[in-house]
Amino acid sequence: MIALERRSVAALASVYAVRMLGLFMVMPVFVLYGSGLGGATPALLGFAIGAYGLSQAVLQIPFGVLSDRFGRKRMIYLGLLIFTAGSLLAAGADTIYGVIAGRLLQGAGAIASVLMALLSDLTREEQRTKAMATVGISIGLSFSLSLVVGPLIAAAYGLAGIFYATAGLALVAMVIVYAAVPNPYQASHSLETRPNRAMLSQVLRDSRLLRLDFGIFALHFVLTAVFLVVPGLLEHTVGLAAESHWWLYLTVMVTSFFAMVPFIIIGEKRRQMKAVLSGAILMLAAATAALVLVSGSLAGAWVVLFFFFMAFNLLEACLPSLVSKEAPAASRGTAMGVYSTSQFMGAFLGGTLAGVLLEAYGFYGVVGLMVGVLLCWLVVALTMSPPSHATSFMLQLRTVSPEQIAVIDERLRTLPGVQDVVILEEAHTAYLKVDRQYFKEELLAGYEFIQPRTPA
């Protein structure tokens, strides 16, 4: 990457991380500290935890579309202001309904698609995969950090303190956007990072992608639901005071992160991703079921949560990569849009349904729901064909006549490792799906219709 790209990616990854940190900090403590809110019930506590997912799922694509018309930074500022307003509303609330309204408003600042579009504007196509990976890492780190910071802030300043801190983080994000994010010279409309209406029906008919969409739905369904039962389990069954939860989460998240890395390497290098994926789902289901076995043993609780988050981190890291590989040429942006919407809906329904079951059937009802969802996902994963090992590859074409398009398409398809080709005549761009084991970029050197790639 050139210096401008590195600066842009670092700044946008920081904005992503700061925003997600604010959203996640409340999750490990809300069921403990929120029970004192006026009108609070387990069902409403669950709805409040997942409420942000509903508004974010509904508004993320409209925000992206509006950014094409009104500008990326303008919509990011608007989204962060809405997010700040939601945080302040929740901080000042003394009833569960006020917090629910605040969480819905937080999610309404749905800038994820706008940030991805701006990332596309500020990076070259050949650097975009690295940029997206950097953002993904920043989100993962912010989630892990939130499990540590949330209990610490709540212990010192209560639930309101978390929401005030979240509002402060949103203001920090605005400063980062103003001071560190360059203004793009022109908006990019790359189909690798932006949803496209014309591609939507193709993506929604793809059974392999739908299986992965269900996977991320199930994963975040369970993640949201588990925080309705684990905090109480740690405090009331294990006997670990709420202000001490942070160190348990810290040690679990650090060790589970390093433990899952070898499995990603095995899955990618040995092309055993289906086995790794299915094994991780089974581990997650087993760890979830094992929550009912935790009694007064702190060590037992630590082991169960270690395996839970090891499996969670592994699945969270693998699924976006699999969507990228399975998406048809020029459809990655659309596929990721559907994937993200599924993720947010999973978070919303996980909190909502788990809250209802917690109120009606207690701890065991929620665990049964989570295990049931994970077993359904396991069946879906076991019955899918092995994932593709193709990756996206973009070429800039020289100006060509419409009559040459069919010839170019045919010539590109004859290259070893090329599985699919989509040519956009107006953009002078060709999108390829290639298997890197067989595709060699050097073979493109002799094609007169391809523009030379800019050095990294």
Report domain extents, the chain: 1-194, 204-388, 392-446
Percent of the chain residues topping a pLDDT of 70: 93
* Per-residue model confidence (pLDDT) at position 434: 82
CA distance 352 to 48: 8
Residue type present at position 334: T
- Residue the block writes with tokens 């209560």: 158
CA gap 53, 350 in Å, rounded: 10
State the Rg of the chain over Cα: 23
Report the pLDDT value the prediction gives residue 131, as an integer from 0 to 100.
80
> Which of 119-133, 299-313, 325-339 is most confident?
299-313
pLDDT at 101 over 90: yes
| Cβ(230)–Cβ(294) below 8 Å | no
Average pLDDT, the chain: 88
- What is the rounded distance in angstroms from the CA atom of residue 333 to the CA atom of residue 65? 13
Q: How far is Cα 389 from Cα 391, in angstroms, rounded to an integer?
A: 7
Lowest mean pLDDT among 9-18, 218-227, 281-290: 9-18
Say which residue the tokens 């699945």 belong to.
315
More confident residue, 115 or 159: 159
> Diameter of the chain by CA atoms?
74
Measured at the CA of 160, the angle between CA 159 and CA 163, to 5 degrees, comes to 95
User: Rounded mean pLDDT of 190-205?
Assistant: 69
**Predicted confidence band at 453 (pLDDT cuts at 50, 70, 90)?**
low
What number is the average pLDDT over the span 220-224? Answer: 97
Give the least confident one: 75-79, 126-130, 274-278, 430-434.
Answer: 126-130
- Find the helix packing angle between 332-361 and 363-382, rounded to 10°: 150
Helix axes 96-108, 42-70, angle to 10 degrees: 30
Q: How far is CA 97 from CA 40, 43, 101, 272, 278, in A?
A: 8, 12, 6, 47, 39
Nearest-angstrom CA–CA distance, 123 and 113 = 15
Q: Is the CATH number of domain 204-388 3.30.390.30?
A: no
Give pLDDT tens digits for 19-76.
Answer: 889 889 999 999 999 999 999 999 999 999 999 999 999 998 888 888 878 888 999 9
Q: pLDDT band at residue 197, thresholds of 50, 70 and 90? A: low
Model-level pTM? 0.88
> Which 8-state DSSP code applies to residue 237?
I
Task: Provide the pLDDT for residue 6.
Answer: 86
**CATH topology identical between 1-194 and 204-388:** yes
182 backbone dihedrals φ, ψ, rounded to 5°: -65, 160
pLDDT at 437: 77
pLDDT of residue 386: 80
Q: How far apart are CA 247 and CA 148, in angstroms?
A: 7
Token digits for 249? 């989460």
The Cα–Cα gap between 333 and 320 comes to 11
Rounded distance between C-alpha atoms, residue 49 and residue 357, angstroms: 15
Cβ distance 218 to 370 under 8 Å? no
- Give the least confident one: 216-225, 254-263, 297-306, 343-352: 254-263
Residue 190 has pLDDT above 70, yes or no: no
The CATH number of the domain covering residues in 392-446: 3.30.70
CA 131 from centre of chain: 15
Domain 1-194 has CATH 3.40.50.1700: no
Helix-then-strand count for the chain, H and E: 16, 3
Q: In the prediction, which pLDDT does 397 show?
A: 84
- Using CA atoms, how far apart are residues 77 and 222, in angstroms rounded to an integer? 31
Residue 182 above 90 pLDDT?
Answer: no
The pLDDT assigned to 3 comes to 79
DSSP H/E element including 201: helix 197-205
Q: Is the pLDDT of residue 217 over 80?
A: yes
* Among 331-335, 350-354, 367-371, the least confident range: 331-335
Q: What is the spatial order of strands in the sheet that 390-396 belongs to?
A: 390-396, 429-435, 418-424
**Distance set, CA 186 to CA 118, 123, 183, 194 (Å):** 10, 12, 9, 15
* Element at 20 (helix H, strand E): helix 3-24
Handedness of CA 438, 441, 445, 449 (dihedral sign): positive
Is the model's pLDDT at 144 over the cut of 80? yes
3-state secondary structure of 418: strand
Instruction: Please report, rounded to a whole number, the percentage of residues in the chain having pLDDT higher than 90.
Output: 54
Residue 121: pLDDT band with limits 50, 70, 90 = confident
